[in-house]
Amino acid sequence: MVTLTLKKGREKAVLRHHPWIFSGAVQSLSGEPGSGETVAVRDSGGNFLAWGAYSPKSQIRARIWSWDEGQSINPSFFEERIRTAIKLRETLIDPQSTSAYRLIHAESDRLPGLIVDRYNETLVMQILSAGIEHWREEITDILIKLINPNGIYERSDVAVRGLEGLEERVGALCGKIPQRPILINENGIKFKVDLLGGQKTGFYLDQRDNRQFCRAIAQDKSVLNCFAYTGGFTAYALAGGAESVLSIDSSVEAIHLAKENVLLNQGSLENCEWIVGDVFKELRTLRDGGRQFDLVILDPPKFAPTASQAKQAARGYKDINLYGFKLLKPGGTLMSFSCSGGIDELFFQKIVADAALDAEVDAQILYRLSQSPDHPTHLAFPEGSYLKGLVVRTGN
Ligand code: SAH
């Protein structure tokens, strides 16, 4: 077993059970571990700290599996972790009303780099670390054993794999994968999800509870849903009795599916307007046209994946929030989100505050929202908390 020894004084994060070891903290290696192989992590005095997966190309040189010296990193270890993650979801999800949710949330389920989403009887798996890549077949077998899905589809088609020295890859890992969009249930609302071609693993499962929140406040409101994707917030707002919903997204395919989703749930496209276009531009057009709404939803894609892009991203958030406020009726509500890991909650709040100031509205935060609990944040891994939402009400 290869030993990875940390520089003197660099063991603090590991002792606090943070799962990442950066290359700059590494003093030496006793051998040449392959990508994803298990190493023993020790402090500069030779004391055991943890077992981790080695990643030769990554800035994150190792990700911790366990802090228990007596633990063997083998298939039973992964089976135990996966069992624990599944059990948690059993306490969170009512299968009667919700058939799609995140089963494994990587670092926060103590399985660094592994995402598994469940869509009915199909699992979609995304591998983001050298360690999980190393155990890919064993993990697939464990998922088959514990869940017995109809199929497991791998969607490791994300650029961050490059940082781990891994190629992008998609394809069936086992079983039959639906080639056409499938019908899922979320809080009793139906959605078609394209597992093969959709964004992320097909659906933005992390917004489930926030969509439910939207349903609860939508009664009789005129709603503007920006970055609508396949109509998640749109369908919930309509189910909550919204008077009208205007949905904007730049993706033709997404809006096409959004319309199908509304049809599935209310049987017609009544009270709906659709725009395929760029939100930055369309918000200005709506403003120029004198349009006003009771509820504006802003759920943009990740403008700042890391802190280095935060400044540039802040301009984007500021712009859409400024126009979001301008398009609200007095006493209106803004639901504004950021899923950028590089922008923390306080910074996001400041951006929204700046936007309100420029829009010359007086506004109060009523609720703070975050990702749904099937996307937990491990307390030792604050980076796991990426989705921030503010529900803001403007003055009359
Ligand atoms: N709210 C959605 C998820 C939004 S994901 C839900 O609950 O399912 C972000 C969406 O923004 C994607 O659908 C993407 O196509 C769209 N998008 C990205 N940049 C855009 C832009 N400049 N203008 C309009 N839509 C954009």
- Are both 3-66 and 75-182 of the same fold? no
Ligand 1 atom nearest to 278, measured from its CA: 23
- ∠ CA 103-228-112, rounded to 5°: 25
- Interval 251-301: pLDDT, tens: 999 999 999 999 999 999 999 999 999 999 999 999 999 999 999 999 999
Query: What's the DSSP call for residue 228?
Result: -
Which residues are annotated as catalytic? Answer: 339
Is 140 close to ligand 1, i.e. is its CB under 6 Å away?
no
Asked if the model's pLDDT at residue 309 lies above 90, the reply is: no
d(CA 205, CA 232): 10
pTM above 0.75, yes or no: yes
pLDDT at 180 over 90: yes
300 C-alpha to ligand 1 centroid (Å):
5
Q: How far is CA 116 from the centre of its chain?
A: 12
Residue 257: CA atoms inside 13 Å, Cβ hemisphere, count? 25
Residue length of the chain: 396
Strands 363-370 and 388-394: antiparallel
Q: How far is CA 98 from the centre of its chain?
A: 18
CATH code for the domain defined by 3-66: 2.30.130.10
Ligand 1 lined by 207 (C-beta under 6 Å): yes
Residues 333 and 274: their CA atoms lie apart, in Å, by 21
Q: Are 157 and 141 within 8 A, CB to CB?
A: no
Q: CATH code for 75-182? A: 3.30.750.80
Asked if the model's pLDDT at residue 249 lies above 90, the reply is yes
Q: Whose CA is nearest to atom 3 of ligand 1?
A: 229
What contacts 121, CB < 8 A, 6 or more positions away? 149, 150, 151
Question: Could you tell me if the CB of 281 is within 6 A of ligand 1?
Answer: no
Distance in angstroms (rounded) separating the CA atoms of residues 224 and 393 = 15
* String of DSSP letters for 45-109: T--EEEEEEE-TTSSEEEEEEES-TT---SHHHHHHHHHHHHHHHHHH--TTT--EEEEEEGGGG
Ligand 1 mean position to 228 CA, how many Å?
6
Question: Residue 172 has what pLDDT?
Answer: 98
- Please name the residue that has the structure tokens 């994968």: 177
Terminal-to-terminal C-alpha distance of the chain: 67
pLDDT in tens, 315-372: 999 999 999 999 999 999 999 999 999 999 999 999 999 999 999 999 999 999 999 9
Class for domain 204-394, per CATH?
alpha beta
Pocket lining: 271 vs ligand 1, CB cutoff 6 Å: no
Please choose from 119, 186, 214, 229 the residue to mutate so as to test ligand 1's pocket, defined by most ligand atoms within 8 A of CB.
229
| Sequence spans of domains, the chain | 3-66, 75-182, 204-394
- How many Å lie between the centroid of ligand 1 and the Cα of residue 278? 9
Ligand 1 near 236 CB (within 6 A): no
Q: What is the pLDDT of residue 238?
A: 98
- The strand pairing partners of 186, in sequence order, are 189
Q: 229: Cβ below 6 Å to ligand 1?
A: yes
